[in-house]
Amino acid sequence: MILNFNSQSLKALEKNKRAHFINSLGGFKSVALVGTSDKVGNTNLAVFSSIFHVGANPPLIGLIFRPSPPERNTFANIIETGFYTMNHINESIINQAHQTSARYDKGISEFEITGLNSEYKDGFFAPYVAESSIQSGIEFKEKIDISINNTTLIIGEIIQVYFPEDCLASDGFIDIEKANTITCSGLDSYHKTIQLDRLSYAKPNQEITSLVNKQ
């Protein structure tokens, strides 16, 4: 049976229920660990599911911050230092990734708490997650206030990428499923994926074809 909720029923939902419901409604989400450090090297790690593609040229990625988020140290570090990392999550680290969403004091590093290892390379300021198979180094570019609900959009440019060579297709596509990257839904549900198909570029009056060699 199909249920219908309208504005009134959504408003009437208890706060946590509404958070679960609305967060589920947007569909499957990108989920990644964002690594930062303050000026003196105190590291921070936080899981984000509000990451989205903004553009490919220049390569830009967006991140939504809530008004008073548990990830407030991440926000402060990005503004203070200008750099952060985005690290894909795989099945073996979902519990550790999820644990970073707890509200730790600023003095406490989620790297230490969870046992995930920080990794610095190629002179990039912010720490990567060593256990992550696809890592990006990002430079802060723009902060946009979303006044309607007091959230903040942070846009950054991807300036470093590390990824497994065997996941790169000849057309530039990265097979993130092969890299064991997972997805999430709602506030706390983690999922692995099974590729259904890759489809050819769509044009009017032309049949779509599969780009995948089906066995």
Residues 147-206, interacting with a copy of itself (CB under 8 A): 147-149, 151, 153, 155, 157-166, 168-169, 171-177, 181-183, 185-204, 206
Q: Is the dihedral of CA 188, 194, 200, 202 positive or negative?
A: negative
How far apart, in whole angstroms, are the C-alpha atoms of residue 58 and residue 130?
A: 26
Asked if residues 211 and 172 have their Cβ atoms less than 8 Å apart, the reply is no
Residues near 82 by Cβ (< 8 Å), separated by ≥ 6?
125, 139, 140
Interaction between residue 125 and a copy of itself (CB under 8 A): no
Q: Which of residues 92-121 bind a copy of itself (CB under 8 A)?
A: 94-95, 98-104, 108, 113
Closest approach of a copy of itself to the CB of residue 86, in Å: 8
Q: Which stretch binds a copy of itself (CB under 8 A): 35-43, 47-55, 73-81?
A: 47-55
Interaction between residue 79 and a copy of itself (CB under 8 A): no
Answer for which of 51, 76, 82, 120 binds a copy of itself (CB under 8 A) is 51
Helix (H, G, I), strand (E, B) or coil at 63: strand
How far apart, in whole angstroms, are the C-alpha atoms of residue 38 and residue 185?
A: 30
Binding residue count for a copy of itself, defined by CB under 8 A: 115
